[in-house]
Structure 1
Amino acid sequence: MHQDRTGARRCRCWNALLTRGFAFLAVFALLPAPMGFSQSTKGEPPAAVSPVPKNLPGNAYVKVRVMSEETTLPAGGTGYIAIQVKVVDGWHVYWRNNGDSGAPVVVDWRVPEGVTIGECQWPVPKRYAQPGDILDYIFEGSVILIFPVTVSADIAPGTEITIGGYVQWLVCSDVCVPGAAEIRFPIGIRSASESGKQTPFAKVFAEERGQHPIPMTDPAAKIVSATWDELALVIRCEGAKSMTFFPYEAFVTPQPKEILKSGHVEGAEMKIPYDEKALGAAHVVGVVEITKSDGSIVRVLIDVPGPEKAVTE
């Protein structure tokens, strides 16, 4: 009987992975191919091969908009824009590490020459456990994805540029459906010596940054330690009531074992097992979310080298 139940769980898990994986691949089959056009010198992104599909089923459950922290971007400096992904009740989208099923929100940028979009600054997701021992990392309601935008000093102040691209997602409830939206966001360029003027969305950026994980070097993270006990990552936090660990995606870091059970604990210590792929890894990375005894929440980015020596029997 035990083997039958295990087989059934694996079957359900595999079916979910296939269903959601193929649904997300449908987005890429329908979206324009990668663009090979030279970039415009007039502040415009390269033109699309074809418009983004407007009839993808996931478009009915997700709305996307772009916002900026300041009204202009500094020439020779860095400013910030954000994409808000708003999901209808009862549905969800996925974090950078989607987990056992699903697929993350992806932004395929199209920017003019001299403009560079940096890495997404992700908020911390929710754990979402499903039958069949499936664990995903999701967002419900509204999620704000912040991106740094670096502008070359060669772009003259007073120029208006357009930041464009495609946002792609898999949105799930009882079923999963793909969606996509084209974005075009005009914004002016100011001199690096000129102070930026905040937009009405500046408060949103400040609030979101308050929810982002802090590095272990931050003074507020001194209460957290991360060490190895053979092949187990041990995270301790003084005064913690509960702790939850969110590993980054597999191409960034080795993946933990038994994360469904070990990834959340009540107490001030958690022990997360890894396999031998962690040995000698340059980075083992994830976010620990800590609820302290006073109810406050601290989120810390754990980034440590893997254990150096193999376990000996």
Structure 2
Amino acid sequence: MMEFQCRFRNSAAAAPIRAAGLLLMLTGLSAPALASGASPWSAAPGAAIRLLAGTARPADAGDSGLAGLEIRLDQGWKTYWRNPGDSGVPPVFDWSKSQNLASVTVLWPAPTRLDDEGGASAVYKGDVVLPLRVAATDASKPVVLHLTLAYGICHDICVPAKGEASLTFDPASPQTDGAAAVAEAARQVPVPTAIGASSSPSIRQVRLDSAAKPPVLTIDVATPRPSSLFVEGPADWYLPMPAPAPGADKANPQSFVLPLEGLPSKAVLPGTPLRFTLSTGEGGIESLYRLP
């Protein structure tokens, strides 16, 4: 495995350099952690991951509770949100070795925008916990979570990292270790909010200038503190990061513009859904919008 530059767009990687990325292949793991509430750390140069047993919930509809994936990053390192932006790679989750697992839904705390010579990206730094909504096949039995994670981490350059973690998660046994971290991360997940809501933060309105080439969206927001706006479309749309509208306060813009570029040649705009995430860095809101 070789190191790779993170300066790419539309999944086109830049030229590889040194072969030090060979060190990123990780050692095997011990048996699943049973009572500690956390798996052993799985380390790579610059980062490490582990699973956390979070809050236990009543076993209704097979839902066995909320676990967490903790990614610990060394000083100066970063990793990426589900939509990394102009550069970087999102994490890829493999739960195929798990037992008694019906499904896992990854919840994403609000990311931070980072602008550098490679463009704008959505990142996490320091220590981040991704809450995991876990559904058991048989809610009366423990779930053995086994994760193989491929993720990108960056310092001056970006390298691929890989980690494995395994944890027995028993919905009948409330956890203490890790529960507070998972609960705090869940509070940082953007809250679904209708466009036009009077609350703050919120997306107040979205306007489409279809006469512009390319068409341009103007997104008016209401937020009391500096925020970043992220927009996601269909999987084959590579939208740029929204920028503050001309004349907007750069320190805390209340209006953003988004040119609809990076679309497939046969893209159909009318009716296409977009997802807006307005992030304060410690939380935020998420709104769905359908192009007129």
Identify whether the pair has TM-score above 0.5, normalized to the shorter chain: yes
CA distance, structure 2, for counterparts of residue 87 and residue 103 of structure 1: 16
Amino acid at match of 2:287: I
CA distance, structure 2, for counterparts of residue 124 and residue 260 of structure 1: 18
Aligned counterparts, 1:1-313, within 5 A = 18-19=13-14, 59-70=44-55, 74=59, 76-78=61-63, 79-112=65-98, 114-131=100-117, 134-152=119-137, 155=138, 157=140, 159-190=141-172, 197-217=174-194, 220=199, 223-230=202-209, 231-238=215-222, 240=224, 242-248=226-232, 251=235, 254-257=237-240, 259=242, 265=250, 266-275=252-261, 277=267, 279-289=269-279, 299-306=284-291, 308=292
Structure 2 counterpart SS, 1:110: coil
Asked if the contact 2:78/2:155 (under 8 Å) is kept, the reply is: yes
| Post-superposition offset of 1:258 | 6.3
Alignment length (residue pairs): 253
Q: Percent identity?
A: 19
CA distance, structure 2, for counterparts of residue 223 and residue 137 of structure 1: 19
Asked if the contact 2:88/2:121 (under 8 Å) is kept, the reply is: yes
Alignment TM-score, normalising by the size of structure 2: 0.71
In structure 2, the CA distance between the partners of 1:290 and 1:114, relative to structure 1 (3 Å rule), is: closer
CA deviation map 1:201-235 (0-9, x unaligned): 22222321222111114874585323223243333
Runs of 4+ in structure 1 displaced over 6 angstroms?
20-23
Asked if the contact 1:166/1:183 (under 8 Å) is kept, the reply is: yes
| Post-superposition offset of 1:177 | 1.7
CA distance, structure 1, for counterparts of residue 273 and residue 188 of structure 2: 23
CA distance, structure 2, for counterparts of residue 21 and residue 215 of structure 1: 40
Structure 2 counterpart SS, 1:69: strand
Asked if the contact 2:150/2:161 (under 8 Å) is kept, the reply is: yes
Runs of 5+ unmatched residues, structure 1: 1-11, 32-43, 45-53, 191-195, 292-296, 309-313
| Post-superposition offset of 1:178 | 1.6
Amino acid at match of 2:152: L
Amino acid at match of 1:229: L
| Post-superposition offset of 1:88 | 0.3
Amino acid at match of 1:203: A
Bigger-Rg structure (1/2)? 1
CA deviation map 1:43-62 (0-9, x unaligned): x9xxxxxxxxx9xxx81211
Alignment TM-score, normalising by the size of structure 1: 0.66
Asked if the contact 1:164/1:182 (under 8 Å) is kept, the reply is: yes
Runs of 5+ unmatched residues, structure 2: 1-5, 27-31, 33-41, 210-214
Structure 2 counterpart SS, 1:18: coil
C-alpha RMSD over aligned residues:
3.8
Asked if the contact 1:72/1:187 (under 8 Å) is kept, the reply is: no
CA distance, structure 1, for counterparts of residue 256 and residue 85 of structure 2: 19
Asked if the contact 1:264/1:270 (under 8 Å) is kept, the reply is: no
| Post-superposition offset of 1:241 | 5.3
In structure 2, the CA distance between the partners of 1:22 and 1:111, relative to structure 1 (3 Å rule), is: farther
CA deviation map 1:83-115 (0-9, x unaligned): 000010011111111122221122211255652
